[in-house]
């Protein structure tokens, strides 16, 4: 038996350490395309912070990499295993520890599913706004680790804006508590925000204190159909310039409209060049606000505007937006049968005034490489998701998919944007992060990594390329390192 596994079995309760080959294979990767994944030595499923700390101490003593995982719905390879690593699956830490309505906070473990927290706090008349597309399956720990966003970000912001405090297991097995429970607090360095978005490279989050809000008013939505993408972008600019802050401002191109209607007919007109889905939750003022927004859309060239008559219609329109990704999967499966159809999902944020430029250039990139690229996104905050359709069985198609991806990354930075608005970096965008931050920014990031994880055992190879050799297991000659493997493209809802 491997010495590391043997020691873990000795210090952890029965059933926590798993080495079944099928289970190891299932925990190799998240849903990120074009990202290499290795085979872990074991999967550890702790049930509390003490068991996480014990696991890390054993890993540190043996020089074994540690890869934290949640629901594995990420899109950048941040949760992918490396060969010989211990995968620490945090789905067993799934308790909502506390909901305090008076202080408007909740304390949760990282394995709590986003939608479950939404429903639990709603029973107290409160709301936890962050709602990534995978909210029915993604966990709060994963959302914090990637600083996830969602459709509500235009008004309410991303996950990090709701994280007040954390409990974290550090690389030596010590337990750090940082942050606060109070409304205000500025004592010391902001260590909490340091760990938000770090993708498990600095420590393992085992408890999260989040800020809650009073429940919003009833959601009302409208759909604006525009003849061209340019008209849709003009409408977005007009709405934001007028000072409106909708709770949702989503953009879908013609390909997405056609895909949704083919996948699950809902009566959406698939002849428009683009569709805007705009929502507001201002209660009694919602109708007047939507009417003003509708006027801006018509002035920008929208040919038809539909306003939901009640909550049921509003929720149906929102559900149609959430169908965007499965609809594109269906489109790819029809285009390339027998499991060959795949999607490469990108994530770029640009200034809202440059959305139209971005969309025009993406069309040119698509034509230049001969691949279909559809775009859906959170237009209200400039966060767009180009979706590249590829044939997974064709190396040429996959290579062109990578080149399209890189061209889109290059475009986003050239327009004054960022390489990721909400999906994180992982391995997929590591090189692009280096371009965005520059040499000084990378030096500071590496210094932080070295200070908190000097042996480099936490999630090696993710977010930043190390300036020293990657951590790895000390293996005997009788147990050679397993060869590195890669999988075909896989996908998840942005």
The mean of the pLDDT values for the chain is 92
| Per-residue pLDDT at 475 | 40
How is the chain split into domains, by residue range? 220-323
State mean pLDDT over 337-352.
Answer: 93
| Per-residue pLDDT at 457 | 98
416-430, pLDDT tens digit by residue? 999 999 999 999 999
354-379, pLDDT tens digit by residue? 999 999 999 999 999 999 999 999 99
pLDDT at 178 over 90: yes
pLDDT at 94 over 50: yes
39-59, pLDDT tens digit by residue? 999 999 999 999 999 999 999
Three-class HEC string of the chain: CCHHHHHHHHHCCCCCEECCHHHHHHCCCCCCCCCCECCCCEEECCCCHHHHHHHHHHHHHHCCCEEEECCCCCCCCCCCCCCCCEEEECCCCCCEEEEECCCCEEEECCCCEHHHHHHHHHCCCEECCCCCCCCCCCEHHHHHHHCCCCCCHHHHCCHHHHEEEEEEECCCCCEEEEECCCCCCCCCCCHHHHHCCCCCCCCEEEEEEEECEECCCCCEEEEEEECCHHHHHHHHHHHHHCCCCCCEEEEEEHHHHHHHHHHCCCCCCCCCCEEEEEEECCHHHHHHHHHHHHHHHHHCCCCEEEECCCHHHHHHHHHHHHCHHHHHHHHHHHHCCCCCEEEEECCEECCHHHHHHHHHHHHHHHHHHCCCEEEEEEHHHCEEEEEEEEECCCHHHHHHHHHHHHHHHHHHHHCCCECCCCCCCCCCCHHHHHHHHHHHHHHHHHHHHHHHCCCCCECCCCCCCCCCCCCCCCCCCCCCCCCCECCCCCCCCC
| CATH number corresponding to 220-323 | 3.30.70.2190
387-413, pLDDT tens digit by residue? 999 999 999 999 999 999 999 999 999
| Per-residue pLDDT at 72 | 96
242-264, pLDDT tens digit by residue? 999 999 999 999 999 999 999 99
pTM here is: 0.91
What pLDDT band is residue 466 in, cutting at 50, 70 and 90? low
Percent of the chain clearing pLDDT 70 (strictly above)? 94
């Amino acid at each position: 038996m491997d010495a590391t596994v043997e020691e873990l079995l000795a210090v952890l309760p029965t059933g926590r350490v798993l080495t079944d080959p099928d289970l190891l294979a299932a925990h190799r990767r998240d849903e990120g395309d074009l990202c290499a994944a290795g085979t872990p030595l074991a999967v550890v499923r702790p049930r509390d912070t003490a068991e996480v700390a014990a696991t890390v101490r054993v890993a540190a003593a043996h020089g074994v990499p540690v890869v934290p995982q949640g629901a594995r719905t990420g899109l950048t390879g941040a949760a992918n295993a490396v060969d010989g690593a211990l995968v620490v699956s945090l789905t067993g830490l799934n308790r909502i520890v506390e909901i305090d309505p008076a202080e408007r906070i909740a304390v949760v473990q990282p394995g709590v599913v986003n939608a479950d927290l939404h429903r639990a706090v709603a029973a107290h008349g409160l709301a936890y706004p962050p709602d990534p597309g995978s909210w029915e399956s993604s966990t709060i720990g994963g959302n914090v680790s990637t600083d996830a966003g969602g459709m509500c970000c235009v008004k309410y912001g991303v996950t990090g804006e709701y994280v007040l405090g954390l409990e974290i297991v550090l690389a030596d097995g010590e337990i750090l508590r940082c942050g606060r429970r109070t409304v205000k607090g500025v004592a010391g360095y902001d260590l909490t925000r340091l760990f938000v978005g770090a993708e498990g490279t600095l420590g393992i989050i085992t408890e999260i204190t989040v800020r809650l809000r009073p429940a919003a008013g009833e959601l009302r939505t409208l759909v604006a159909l525009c003849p061209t993408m340019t008209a849709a972008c003009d409408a977005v600019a007009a709405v934001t310039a007028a000072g409106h802050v909708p709770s949702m401002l989503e953009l879908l191109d013609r390909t997405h409209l056609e895909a949704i209607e083919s996948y699950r007919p809902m009566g959406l007109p698939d002849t428009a060049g683009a569709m805007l889905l705009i929502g507001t939750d201002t209660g009694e003022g919602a109708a007047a606000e939507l009417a003003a927004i509708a006027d801006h859309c018509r002035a920008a060239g929208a040919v038809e505007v539909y306003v939901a008559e009640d909550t049921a219609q509003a929720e149906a329109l929102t559900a149609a937006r959430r169908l965007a990704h499965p609809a594109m999967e269906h489109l790819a499966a029809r285009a390339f049968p027998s499991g060959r159809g795949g999607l490469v999902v990108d994530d770029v944020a640009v200034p809202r005034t440059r959305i139209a430029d971005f969309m025009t250039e993406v069309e040119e990139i698509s034509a230049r490489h001969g691949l279909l690229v559809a775009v859906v996104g959170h237009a209200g905050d400039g966060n767009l998701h180009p979706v590249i359709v590829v044939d997974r069985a064709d190396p040429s198609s996959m290579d062109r998919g990578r080149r399209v991806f890189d061209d889109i990354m290059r475009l986003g930075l050239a327009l004054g944007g960022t390489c990721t608005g909400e999906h994180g970096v992982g391995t997929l965008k590591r090189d692009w992060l280096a371009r965005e931050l520059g040499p000084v920014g990378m030096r500071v990031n590496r210094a932080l990594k070295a200070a908190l994880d000097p042996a480099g055992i936490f999630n090696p190879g993710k977010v930043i390329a190390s300036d020293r050799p990657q951590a790895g297991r000390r293996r005997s000659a009788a147990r050679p390192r397993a060869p590195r493997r890669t999988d075909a493209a896989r996908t998840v809802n942005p």
